[in-house]
Structure 1
């Protein structure tokens, strides 16, 4: 840690070799804004970043000079057009498949089963990406196919973390994953966990699936934490590096 920086303002990662503290602090100031924050007061920016008000004000004025922040008439701050341009560039150039498929590939190799990523489209779940398992006998699903939400672990997980009331959804939310056996297809079993973006926005669910002859309930329970780790990895990547709270089988609180 740089001894010239007050301990109360030290930020994670700023003591790493080659790091520029002022840049890191400026980024923390921008990251203080959430999806529902049209504006923030200086006091709130100071609270969220852990910086002194004078430091936050100096950085905010610097960012405003290049249109990353704008100070309003009531002295509160909002994101500026330069920040919006960066976001638009990210959205235009980001390819989810470049992030999702490598994680699914690792999951398939680690578990020996097929791995898939599903998203919700109306009252169905659509397979957005998939990597088949390495074994000859495996579960096959076509990318782009629409399947029922209420049948199978991936759909149940999406419903649960979309706020569906009652059971089994309350239990799924508490556990942080769901497993199913023969629910949609006879002799097919799967275990699934939710994938979130920033601010706990549900993006979809990741799962592994295969024949029940290999995926007994005991085996599915053994693989649940592996699937959760993959879901956490996808959540981190798809949120643009803003890591949601890590879930380890229901340990985190979900905010719909």
Structure 2
């Protein structure tokens, strides 16, 4: 059909622009993007703006460009399609069944946490999220655990590291509570966090303390699957 070759070329250029970012590149200037893709600056700018409109690129305050959150969502879905669903999901199912609450794994993507894989509670009243959903790091137990064990400073993060877990109530969503612990991968490096989430009416202090040993045990099992050689945290 007429125009197909042009459309494919535009896709190729967009992919080339995204692929121009290396592992060490937090952001790139338009000039550098054009150089790496052999595009003229006006074409590179047009493509970058289109990608930004679809949340695949973000323009920084200094006018440079960085990869956008939509790519984090797609990446999380890709990861979930071949690692957690096959090897990790059974542990989430067991944890959710044992506690009666929703269980999920979160990883950090830039300044957000992304739900990698999740098992919803079988109860009629429950909190739900979808793999690929991006949320604030500083709202909810899962994000705070990632920040704390990722090296963030401050009294709260230090306290979380000392306890080995964090509990929040109504911080991100009213009437919803969550408790989270860290997950570690190969080399015992931080992978993300494992969280239980449910309605406040069920998430009493007593219930949270009852869930905690099961949460730690599941985190140990999942961390081992991810390549960690030790327990999830000292406790």
Could you state the TM-score of these two structures normalised by the residue count of structure 1? Answer: 0.58
Q: 1:243 aligns with which of 217, 222, 229?
A: 229
Q: CA deviation at 1:243?
A: 2.4
CA–CA separation in structure 2 for the residues paired with 1:136 and 1:95: 29
CA–CA separation in structure 2 for the residues paired with 1:164 and 1:221: 25
Q: 1:229 aligns with which of 217, 222, 226?
A: 217
The structure carrying a bigger helix percent of its residues is 2
Q: CA deviation at 1:225?
A: 1.6
Which residue of structure 2 lines up, in the alignment, with residue 97 of structure 1? 85
Larger mean CA deviation between 172-181 and 220-229 belongs to 220-229
Which residue of structure 2 lines up, in the alignment, with residue 12 of structure 1? none
Which stretches in structure 1 are left out of the alignment for 5+ residues?
A: 1-90, 252-256
Which stretches in structure 2 are left out of the alignment for 5+ residues?
A: 1-78
> Structure 1's 235 and 116: CA in aligned 2 closer, same or farther, altered over 3 A?
same
Is residue 183–residue 192 contact of structure 2 (8 Å, CA) maintained in 1?
Answer: yes
CA–CA separation in structure 1 for the residues paired with 2:154 and 2:120: 33
Is residue 198–residue 244 contact of structure 1 (8 Å, CA) maintained in 2?
Answer: no
Is residue 127–residue 142 contact of structure 1 (8 Å, CA) maintained in 2?
Answer: yes
Say yes or no: does 1:149 pair with 2:137: yes
Deviations 1:199-225 (A, max 9, x none): 221111011100000001221122112
> Structure 1's 174 and 129: CA in aligned 2 closer, same or farther, altered over 3 A?
same
CA–CA separation in structure 2 for the residues paired with 1:142 and 1:94: 17
Q: CA deviation at 1:173?
A: 0.5
Could you state the TM-score of these two structures normalised by the residue count of structure 2? Answer: 0.63
Q: 1:18-57 alignment to 2 at 5 Å?
A: none
Which residue of structure 1 lines up, in the alignment, with residue 149 of structure 2? 161
Where 1:168 maps in the other structure, the secondary structure is helix
CA–CA separation in structure 2 for the residues paired with 1:170 and 1:148: 19
Where 2:171 maps in the other structure, the secondary structure is coil
Which residue of structure 2 lines up, in the alignment, with residue 192 of structure 1? 180
Deviations 1:67-100 (A, max 9, x none): xxxxxxxxxxxxxxxxxxxxxxxx9x96232122
Q: 1:116 aligns with which of 80, 104, 110?
A: 104
- Structure 1: 4+ residue segments shifted above 3 A: none
Larger Rg: 1
Q: CA deviation at 1:160?
A: 0.4
Where 2:155 maps in the other structure, the secondary structure is coil
CA–CA separation in structure 1 for the residues paired with 2:85 and 2:98: 20
Task: Give the RMSD, CA atoms, in angstroms.
Answer: 1.8
Is residue 219–residue 232 contact of structure 2 (8 Å, CA) maintained in 1?
Answer: no
CA–CA separation in structure 1 for the residues paired with 2:232 and 2:152: 22
Where 1:143 maps in the other structure, the secondary structure is coil
Which residue of structure 1 lines up, in the alignment, with residue 123 of structure 2? 135
Q: 2:168 aligns with which of 163, 166, 180?
A: 180
Where 2:125 maps in the other structure, the secondary structure is coil
